[in-house]
Structure 1
């Protein structure tokens, strides 16, 4: 393992016992290149060839106020696998805010939980006062990796192979880009949305395979909302208006306090991919909040054409504080899946009758799911979700759901070992939907190390079939992606 260390970034972070600045969330502050990772167990499968990217939270300066785990600076970790060998590198995403704080040598912006006036400079995004970190999502479109921020910042570009920072996307609109844009590899299009506190409160756009914004329209809403994800089918893009959003009276005082608005349904906007606002089909469903969708697809039947949407329904979107965490009680509850009770769920929108049908697909508390990417926008059978440690935002295992039979496979990591969001990687020449692997990072608090792990997607109960040592312990974070090398070669 030959390690090349880059010059250190300027940092002022102090040691902390904050639950999301310590342990598995301890920031990783060094950038390195490793030519070949050491295999410590098993073998790297010879029938996969591509790149795993993971976006993580890594603040480099002492916070101005209270720290929230989603306030950190973006660091993207990459493992490139080819010919049964793997290399590694990691880089900070050098947003404008990151660069300005490097110059200043301190934090300039407050965080999600801080009161108005905390920031030393005007902020960004739907919240209005935050730092644009790009630390939420990571996708690859037309040969470029985009790191995005859930509160709608710029879309920050990186070379997925070298992690060279390429600046902000030239197609980004004034209101920014939310996390979770979707890529259709067949058409080469990227679909995205944003949201804000001014009318019409949401927009939807399409970027073509050449990186040009070719469609951008308003999605009129009754007021400011807090959508987090979107879904796409071959013909429709699906946006949402959930009853969990900012309190209007508090917002007048520039206080961003989320509330569950009793009596309001969940609403879904189905818009043709290149459609206009007047073409939106609105559907209503039971009140909930959903962070992430797993898939959407279209079906035809005797009762009419339907659009099917699958994701994680929350039974308790506004949970009670976790008092055992003391002064962190509220924050800990709002990032704990066991507190807001998220379960795999299905919505069916009948395009003929306008009716919505719902069904729960599992009673298990899970989130951050992945499907076989070859089944995106098609009827899929399996979902691979992460399980979490109760009371924390820490992935402690994997669950494979069979949505046809209800069967579940579960693998729980050893105590003190935590996973990352884990893309599904089809085997070359795969013959079935689960003829694939899961690729993930592990953080081992017992040994203060991190690894790359590969699991058999057809039987996750076996645990890792290959483990590779990383050169340092990484921090936890949120989203990840896998891109096939052939897709990079085609630039789509």
Structure 2
């Protein structure tokens, strides 16, 4: 069924910092996207469920160099959107780079003009102060009013045609977004609206612009928050009545960046002399947030939030420091030194007493949490994550986990030897009778075939082999985030 495991191709580029040893097999996933194409038939292994009708979209960095210069961090790669369309037990796949204005400008000039998260900005100090951040459009996706957007937290959203994945162009959403639209919008079903924020930086402080995007009608700005320092804020969460921010205290290497001696990626660290700020913003009264500080911690991603007896309950992947950033940078060298240390925690916020408590819910490193969109803002029972198997060693995540918040158990499953899944996406079964009655979709890189497929698991029978695998005839570089759009909704 599987080919003999292959050694890394001699053409695999040597990355900075890579030891003089053979690269691990998963490292080939970071080779550039081999070709772009529209929707074409994909080979189905197994049997696809008849009621799986819709499109899985994924986005992530799809190259690690440009114009003769290698990028310094995984986050710097140009984004490519990939899609698998399921209909009638068949599947079609497509993938294309997102052609942002910045990418097009550099291609016309034939050289690097903008700085990235982990790549030194070209030019002198004065130029570095003026040059805008590169819109890599590589982090996450938003589907709003039948439109698809590729997101990058330091840029405007970039609209992509959901039918053929061609880039339609960057947008400020009709003047709504002054500078930045973050990569993690959050939908609140009870309000029929999606919420997001954007960060703007000043001398020693920053503003958070708050946005509301209704399912029908024009988007609007809710308000603006001022933060007393500069930080890295990747995600937030929403409940029926509140937007919640956990703002970690960060040390940012701004002087080294301006002087060209380093980048944000290689100098960022948690400032343990200060606390993490908790900000609870009432959606209906955004000018009156509750704000208080707790012991410092770092996080990349929220999973969910809901309200319970006057408290706000949050599920997050919590870190004691910011070393996860170093691990993500090491992915593109093939030489990992920092183990994953994010743990699933349930937090409870009491806005009246201005108190936060934290309880660890699982003892294995994990990331990229996901739950059914139908359980958003509710006390959902099941949560799905990526994790590393205990025997896997230092490598990208190699298994999926299903956490039962009500029963307390955790199940894990691996797609197979030498296979590396992406963030799981839950799709409810037609006529579902329970929270886990549906399918779990994950884009998998198979290092032995050097090809990618979408594995379709039965979420109720989670530990069994996939119901089906849907194969591209090439590999897709590791993606970051994705979403499911049911048939008839875009």
The superposition leaves residues 359-393 of structure 1 with CA deviations (integer Å, 9 ceiling, x where unpaired) of 1111111110110110001111111101136434x
Deviation (angstroms), 1:456: 1.3
- Please give the alpha-carbon distance, in whole angstroms, between the structure 1 residues aligned to 2:29 and 2:472: 15
Indicate if the aligned counterparts of 1:283 and 1:349 stay in contact, CA closer than 8 A.
no
Query: Of the candidates 389, 404, 408, which is equivalent to residue 406 of structure 1?
Result: 408
Q: Determine the structure 1 residue equivalent to 2:277.
A: 267
- Please give the alpha-carbon distance, in whole angstroms, between the structure 1 residues aligned to 2:332 and 2:167: 38
Write out aligned runs for 1:90-105 (5 A): 90-105=95-110
Indicate if the aligned counterparts of 2:400 and 2:413 stay in contact, CA closer than 8 A.
yes
Structure 2: which 5+ residue stretches go unaligned?
Answer: 1-10
Say if 1:251 and 1:456 are closer, same or farther in 2 by CA, change over 3 A.
same
Write out aligned runs for 1:128-143 (5 A): 130-143=133-146
Is 2:13 the counterpart of 1:16?
yes
- Please give the alpha-carbon distance, in whole angstroms, between the structure 2 residues aligned to 1:409 and 1:183: 28
Q: Determine the structure 2 residue equivalent to 1:50.
A: 54
Deviation (angstroms), 1:155: 0.5
User: TM-score by structure 2 length?
Assistant: 0.85
Is 2:293 the counterpart of 1:284?
yes
Indicate if the aligned counterparts of 1:64 and 1:109 stay in contact, CA closer than 8 A.
no
- What number of residue pairs does the alignment pair up? 458
Q: Determine the structure 1 residue equivalent to 2:308.
A: 299
Write out aligned runs for 1:434-449 (5 A): 434-449=436-451
CA RMSD in angstroms comes to 3.0
Q: Determine the structure 2 residue equivalent to 1:180.
A: 184
Q: Which has the higher contact order (CA 8 A, sep 6+)?
A: 2
Deviation (angstroms), 1:332: 4.7
Deviation (angstroms), 1:28: 0.6
For the residue of structure 1 that corresponds to 2:69, the secondary structure is: coil
- Please give the alpha-carbon distance, in whole angstroms, between the structure 2 residues aligned to 1:177 and 1:55: 16
Is 2:39 the counterpart of 1:30?
no
The superposition leaves residues 287-307 of structure 1 with CA deviations (integer Å, 9 ceiling, x where unpaired) of 21110000011112xxxx011
- Please give the alpha-carbon distance, in whole angstroms, between the structure 2 residues aligned to 1:22 and 1:328: 8
Stretch of structure 1 that moved more, 287-296 or 194-203: 194-203
- Please give the alpha-carbon distance, in whole angstroms, between the structure 2 residues aligned to 1:249 and 1:107: 21
Q: Determine the structure 1 residue equivalent to 2:231.
A: 225
- Please give the alpha-carbon distance, in whole angstroms, between the structure 2 residues aligned to 1:184 and 1:383: 18
- Would you identify which runs of 4 or more consecutive aligned residues in structure 1 move more than 6 Å? 119-124, 319-322
User: TM-score by structure 1 length?
Assistant: 0.85
Deviation (angstroms), 1:101: 2.2
- Please give the alpha-carbon distance, in whole angstroms, between the structure 2 residues aligned to 1:344 and 1:286: 17
Indicate if the aligned counterparts of 2:386 and 2:398 stay in contact, CA closer than 8 A.
yes
- Please give the alpha-carbon distance, in whole angstroms, between the structure 2 residues aligned to 1:39 and 1:328: 33
- Please give the alpha-carbon distance, in whole angstroms, between the structure 1 residues aligned to 2:290 and 2:231: 18
The superposition leaves residues 374-427 of structure 1 with CA deviations (integer Å, 9 ceiling, x where unpaired) of 0001111111101136434x2311010111222111112433211111210110
Q: Determine the structure 2 residue equivalent to 1:396.
A: 398
